[in-house]
């Protein structure tokens, strides 16, 4: 009976230490998280609109008659005294129309680099007159 209690106690200590270790690891690994809104509008007419909003990744208005793509850039600088990794995730109905260049970026101390977001011109009718929205999630972690 006493052996059974010791085994239960050791198991509980082991589980608790695993939980504490995981919490410490994640609190030291993830440094920061930022969320930015994304917007893309599409029209059938010959319209080309743009936005100078620096708080949102706004791709403006694209026209079905205008071939090409629209790019937006986010410039990042590492102000930490160690290398960091930046990961980007896209959520929302805009996700399948956006390509992210450098979605996993490693920055050395004081280094600057950019992440490019490309919205491609649609070629299908369901796009017309719609506004596509989403979020870009930036996760800043210690680089391993």
For the stretch 49-70, pLDDT in tens is: 555 666 788 877 777 666 667 8
pTM of the prediction? Answer: 0.72
Residues of the chain with pLDDT > 90, as a percent, come to 28
Question: Per residue in 71-117, pLDDT tens?
Answer: 888 899 999 999 999 999 999 988 888 899 988 899 999 999 999 99
pLDDT of residue 100: 93
The residues, ordered by sequence, that sit 6+ positions from 139 with a Cβ below 8 Å of its Cβ are 30, 32, 33, 86, 87, 88, 89
Q: Kindly state the DSSP code that residue 121 receives in the 8-state scheme.
A: P
Instruction: Tell me which residue of 66, 137, 70 sits closest to 97, measured CA to CA.
Output: 70
Least confident of 6-10, 26-30, 126-130, 135-139: 126-130
Asked if CATH classification 2.120.10 holds for the domain at 31-142, the reply, yes or no, is: no
Mean pLDDT of the chain: 82
Confidence at 44, pLDDT banded by 50, 70, 90: low
Which one is predicted more confidently, 5 or 26?
5
Task: Measure the CA–CA gap between 120 and 130, rounded to whole angstroms.
Answer: 15
Least confident of 5-19, 26-40, 91-105: 26-40
Q: Kindly state the DSSP code that residue 126 receives in the 8-state scheme.
A: G
Task: Measure the CA–CA gap between 31 and 110, rounded to whole angstroms.
Answer: 16
Query: The tokens 């410490």 sit on which residue?
Result: 24
pLDDT of residue 125: 43
pLDDT of residue 52: 60
Using CA atoms, how far residue 48 sits from 15, 28, 61, 109, 124, in Å, is 58, 45, 6, 39, 17
User: Which pair of structure tokens corresponds to residue 41?
Assistant: 């509008």
49 pairs with which residues across the strands? Answer: 61
**CB-based contact 40:131 (threshold 8 Å):** yes
């Amino acid at each position: 009976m006493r052996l059974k209690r010791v085994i239960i106690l050791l198991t509980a200590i082991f589980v608790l230490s695993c939980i504490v270790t995981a919490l410490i690891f994640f609190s030291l690994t993830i440094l920061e998280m930022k969320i930015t809104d994304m917007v893309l509008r599409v029209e059938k007419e010959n319209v080309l609109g743009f936005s100078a909003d620096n708080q949102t990744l706004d791709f403006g208005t694209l026209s079905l008659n205008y071939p090409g793509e629209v790019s937006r850039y986010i410039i990042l600088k590492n102000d930490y005294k160690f290398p960091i990794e930046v990961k980007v995730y896209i959520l929302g109905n805009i996700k399948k129309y956006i390509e992210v260049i450098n979605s996993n970026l490693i920055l050395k101390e004081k280094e600057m680099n950019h992440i490019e977001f490309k919205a491609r011109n649609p070629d299908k009718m369901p796009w017309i007159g719609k506004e596509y929205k989403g979020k870009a999630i930036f996760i800043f972690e210690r680089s391993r």
